Structure 1
Amino acid sequence: MRFAIKTRPEHTSWQQLRDVWIAADEYEVFESAWHWDHFYPLSGDMAGPNLEAWTTLAALAQATKRIRVGCQVTGMIYRHPAVLANMAATTDIISGGRLELGIGAGWNQMECDAYGIELPPLKERFDRFDEGTQALIALLTEKVANFDGQYVKLTDAYCEPKPVQTPHPPITIGGKGPKRTLRAVARWAQHWNVIVATPEEWKPLKDILVAHCEDLGRDVSEITCSVNVRIDPDVPLDQAIDTAITTAAAYGDAGVDLVVLNLPLDTPPTILEPLAKALA
């Protein structure tokens, strides 16, 4: 079983977010650190502060030395795939090759409406996601990329300099849609992340992923499977950590590779020491 942390860039300051990631960087039990890609808070006051994902991710990559860094997950609808490819390559360089490239089709209607960003119907959204993923990979791996899709077109397109990691930073696809999302995971991802209520809910989704991999001739063991486990902010810290570890162990027994521990909002860096000791 492997472990990661996830912070929420809502209702917090840059200094507090940075200090938590720097603290996590000191404990080898945490292999990666993540946050989300939203422009509005998802809890509390929707008009409150929420730090932008990729600019903070690049800064956090600079502030840390060891821990892998990622966004769980980037909404493909928010940025053209060619722009995202350049952002990812630059962030991977800044991190010295520690980027996890998390992507998803996007879903937040409220943010899209507020910013005038089109949120297409579900089928078109996933069609765009499939094309965007292929364009991303082409730009990150090919000297000159060309792609002629219905929604994404590249003509003698460059993405230079290339990322440190080859052939490209590991792609994490988030979601649990059995037909489109899990098939996209089987086709392109090195990491699948999903938020589910119980290990019993996770197991049939893993079976679907296995079937997609078999259909495409891919070994499912090449794909890291992760879930998120919340550390409850409403109970004493020792109890919250014990409950999270028990839950993580159950997911490990079910076959999950990586548990991402969702830290409470306004978490002080001091939470990392007891959490790391308990996990170790």
Structure 2
Amino acid sequence: MRFAIKTRPEHTTWQQLRDVWIAADEFEIFESAWHWDHFYPLTGDMAGPNLEAWTTLAALAQATQRIRIGCQVNGMIYRHPAVTANMAATTDIISGGRLELGLGAGWNEMETTAYGIELYGLKERFDRFDEGMQAIVALLTEKVANFDGKYIKLTDAYCEPKAVQTPHPPIAIGGKGPKRTLRAVARWAQHWNVIVANPEEWKPLKDILVKHCEDVGRDVNDITCSVNVRIDPDEPLDTAVAAAAAYGEAGVDMVVLNLPLDAPPSVLEPLAKAVAPLA
């Protein structure tokens, strides 16, 4: 089993976030580090601080040396896909080829209402997501990209310089929608991340992904399957380790360990030791 960490950029400072990622960079058991793409906190005071995803990700790319970096996940509706493609290419260059390109359709009505960003109905949102995926892949892989969709159009469009990773940074799609999200994972993703309650909820979703992969002619084993396990500061680490072990037995490839809010860098050494027997 492989392991990653995830930090919450809410109710914290840049210095605290940076120091945890730098510390995680020292422990090889942690393959990657992730945060989220929101403009408001998701817990506590909604008027509190929440660091923006892409600017912090670029800075964290510069602050670290080894660990892969990503966001679970960037909301497609927040930025034009061409802008996202350019940001991804540049961040991959800054990191020396360590970016994991996390993408999702978006869902946060509170943020979109506050900022005047159109959320769209569920069908249109996923139609836009599908077109956005095609546009992003085209921009990251083709010298000159053209795309004529219903919502997204590219005309002799450039995205230069290209990312370090070829054909593009691995795409991580987050979510568990059986029809649209998992079909998108089968079509474009190298990594699927989902938040579920237990392995029993995860297993039927994996079966659906297998079917979608068969439909599009992909080997599901080419897709890293990850879940998130929350580290509760009020419980012993054994609780999270047992949860990770259960997911591993169910067939999950990677467990993303969600660190407590304001966790200091010192939490990483005992966490690394606790999960090491499962690696």
Q: TM-score interval w.r.t. the shorter chain?
A: over 0.9
Asked if 1:265 corresponds to 2:267, the answer is no
Q: Which has the higher mean CA deviation after the structures are superposed, 226-235 or 44-53?
A: 226-235
Deviation readout 1:144-190 (Å, 9 max, x if unpaired): 00000000000000000000000000000000000000000000000
Residue by residue over 1:7-54, the C-alpha shift from the partner in whole angstroms, topping out at 9 and shown as x without a partner, is 000000000000000000000000000000000000000000000000
- Once residues 71 and 133 of structure 1 are traced to their aligned partners in structure 2, the CA distance between those partners, rounded to angstroms, is 16
Say whether 1:67 aligns with 2:67. Answer: yes
Partner of 1:156: 156
**1:99-118 matches, cutoff 5 A:** 99-118=99-118
How far apart are residue 278 of structure 1 and its match? 1.2
- How far apart, CA to CA, are the structure 1 residues paired with 2:245 and 2:221? 20
1:234, 1:277 → 2: CA distance?
Answer: 19
What secondary structure sits across from 1:260 in the alignment?
A: strand
Q: Unmatched 5+ residue regions in structure 2?
A: none
Question: Map of 1:145-224 to 2, 5 A cutoff?
Answer: 145-224=145-224
SS at match of 1:3: strand
Match of 1:117, SS state, is coil
TM-score by length of 1: 0.98
The sequence identity of aligned pairs, in percent, is: 86
Once the two structures are superposed, residues 200-256 of structure 1 have per-residue CA deviations (whole angstroms, 9 ceiling, x without a partner) of 000000000000001111100000000000001233xxx1x1111100000000000
Q: Secondary structure at the match of 1:82?
A: helix
Residue 253 of structure 1, aligned match among 241, 249, 274: 249
Partner of 2:34: 34
Q: Distance in 2 between matches of 1:62 and 1:256?
A: 30
Give the distance between the partners of 1:113 and 1:211, measured in 2 at CA.
36
- Tell me by how many angstroms 1:64 deviates: 0.2
* Matched residue type, 1:24: A
2:197 partner SS: coil
Q: CA RMSD in A?
A: 0.4
Structure 1 residue matching 2:43: 3-state secondary structure: coil
TM-score (normalised: structure 2): 0.98
Q: The residue matched to 2:270 in structure 1 has which SS?
A: helix
Instruction: List, as ranges, runs of 4+ consecutive aligned residues in structure 1 with deviation greater than 4 Å.
Output: none
In 1, the alpha carbon distance for the partners of 2:149 and 2:109 equals 25
